[in-house]
Amino acid sequence: MPHHPAIEPGHVAIVTGAASGIGLAAATRFASLGMRIVLADVAPLDDAVAAISAAAPGGADDVLAITTDVSRIEEVESLRERALARFGRVDVLMNNAGIEAGGRFASSIETWRRILDVNLWGVINGVQAFLPALVERNEPALVINTGSKQGITTPPGNTPYNVSKAGVKVVTESLAHELRSREGCRVTAHLLIPGFVYTGLTKARGVTEKPDAAWTPEETVAFMLEAIGRGEFYILCPDNDVARETDEKRIRWAADDIVQNRPALSRWDARYKDTFAAYMGP
């Protein structure tokens, strides 16, 4: 399987939200490919360090764990400085940290701010802190931002989360355009759009065993690396229940709400129940 040229033995990957889930799986996979790893999270990182040290060719010497609140730009800048002081370079930046926090449309301003600060501003802070150095080195580098299908189809309910992930989509699209518009730039940006994945967010909802419909974080990361190797920007992941064809049709329906001037979120409007079902097919 071809890899992005930034993913090479001896290169350095920064992964936020690395204590568990997709972040831990990505960091472990990068380490198994010979990369040196910098882990960032507000959660304890001891178990992650042990797991990744076991996968890294250089063991614990190839792993640096830094407690980091990605919503605070000064902590992300400190993450950058400590990573460079330890390893001297950064080749892959994966802005993966995210929370749900039980947000709803009528949630408190504090809940809204917490979700947006981590999910959206965490990505913006990561890009702002690391991108100048990635571009100036004039070597292949990679930025991966973790979005969500909920940031595209925006289903009713978890509105602050949807807003945050819609923002990540826009930020990453704009970043990709900026990078490809810079003559000679060797940095690429990619939007990871997971399917149903059994992660800490799933467990926080009281799901104690992996549902049959869910992918593992490791399956998601394997799909992500294959897609990046093919040069894909939108890494739209299926799962064991939803195929890509289904995702594509749902996304088209959401876009057509605007084109056809249907009611907002018509997919969940009782007046369109039968029309949507017929559109999706058997």
pLDDT means over runs of 10, the chain (282 residues): 90 98 98 98 97 96 98 98 98 97 87 97 98 95 98 95 98 98 96 92 71 94 97 97 97 98 98 98 90
* Structural domains of the chain sorted by starting position, each given as residue range(s) with its CATH number in brackets: 12-242 (3.40.50.720), 243-282 (no CATH)
* H helix runs in 59-158, sequence order: 73-87, 109-119, 121-136, 150-153
- Residue 155: count other Cβ atoms within 10 Å of its Cβ: 14
Q: Are 123 and 168 in contact (CB under 8 A)?
A: yes
Q: Determine phi and psi for 231, rounding to 5 degrees.
A: 85, 20
> How far is the C-alpha of 220 from the C-alpha of 95, rounded, in Å?
15
Instruction: Please tell me the total number of residues recorded for the chain in this structure.
Output: 282
User: Known catalytic residues?
Assistant: 161
pTM of the model: 0.95
SS3 231: coil
pLDDT digits (tens, 9 = 90+) for 74-117: 999 999 999 999 999 999 999 999 998 788 888 899 999 999 99
Residue 261, classified by CB atoms within 10 Å of its CB into exposed (0-12), middle (13-18) or buried (19+), is: exposed
pLDDT at 203 (0 to 100): 64
pLDDT at 2 (0 to 100): 73
